[in-house]
Structure 1
């Protein structure tokens, strides 16, 4: 097993405005920072337009995302993978998502096999563009505190 990584959280903003495909809305969300590097910025540099699944949307959806990443709820995909970055417009996995395998071994959480996929089967799971990410090994107590701290960090919607 490799050295453990540190996961932290910071409020980040996906800028809104006109783009080549129409209007993009601004969204404030909880960015995941691994070893002092923003995962959002890493994904933007690779050409992706997804935001973390944490810290924004309705409160119940935020809590569901927290529970999933803490392995207290079922995975998002049939292949036991968890969406960690999702569509910033609607949060729908059908728009595609950055997914990862998450496992707990004792006091270690392991994130491995980063990929792009959707829940509609519109395209095959793609690993190549993210093959240089991970695996990451997190101490559970530090990981749990970071994930829980994302609640209502960004834009919280009211029904």
Structure 2
């Protein structure tokens, strides 16, 4: 079965939500088959309340600019920043650092597909424990061309804002 991927703009830390002291982050959330991947993960990560405040790596308003180091591994243009090859999907909304903890996955590419599998909560200073793989989420299989086209929306949006 091939899954669909779309991106939906979300905001974290909006003043209207009473979140004083939290940085406002505008991001594109991963929507898989019409459902937020973050919501799916939160349902199986009940003992990791920090996920509730993690954001996808597709943040639109990082103060440092376009997050090439996060985007590149998603589309296969850059290697993972992690020694084990896992790719960060959700990170700390304040600093974007996986040292604060976040959700990673194994991303495999073939000529026709991109597979996200073996999701887990991870940081960047301890080895990932295979016993921490989240059951009940994935593998998720995307058509490679559709996947790359959807993620290009994020890159194109940054380029449009930089030139405008």
Q: TM-score, normalised by structure 2?
A: 0.79
1-side partners of 2:59 and 2:27: how far apart?
A: 5
1:95 and 2:100 are equivalent in the alignment? yes
1:133 and 2:131 are equivalent in the alignment? no
Contact in 2 for aligned 1:87/1:97 (Cα 8 Å): yes
2-side partners of 1:25 and 1:111: how far apart?
A: 29
1:144 and 2:148 are equivalent in the alignment? yes
Structure (1 or 2) with the greater helix fraction: 2
Deviation by residue 1:114-153 (Cα, 9 ceiling, x = unmatched): 001111129857625x321110000001100111112347
RMSD: 2.6
Tell me: CA distance 1:67–1:132, structure 2 relative to 1, closer, same or farther (3 Å).
same
TM-fit CA distance, 1:71: 1.0
2:66 aligned partner: 60
Structure (1 or 2) with the greater strand fraction: 1
1:117 aligned partner: 122
1-side partners of 2:2 and 2:82: how far apart?
A: 26
2-side partners of 1:150 and 1:44: how far apart?
A: 24
Q: Return 5+ residue gaps in structure 1 as ranges.
A: none
1:108 aligned partner: 113
TM-fit CA distance, 1:110: 0.6
2-side partners of 1:31 and 1:114: how far apart?
A: 16
Deviation by residue 1:27-74 (Cα, 9 ceiling, x = unmatched): 11010100000123334554312100013223332x332221011101
Q: TM-score, normalised by structure 1?
A: 0.81
Tell me: CA distance 1:10–1:126, structure 2 relative to 1, closer, same or farther (3 Å).
farther
1-side partners of 2:94 and 2:130: how far apart?
A: 21
1-side partners of 2:6 and 2:12: how far apart?
A: 18
Give the number of equivalent residue pairs: 149
Query: Helix, strand or coil: the match of 2:154?
Result: coil
Contact in 1 for aligned 2:75/2:148 (Cα 8 Å): yes
1-side partners of 2:136 and 2:147: how far apart?
A: 21
Q: Return 5+ residue gaps in structure 2 as ranges.
A: none
Tell me: CA distance 1:29–1:131, structure 2 relative to 1, closer, same or farther (3 Å).
same
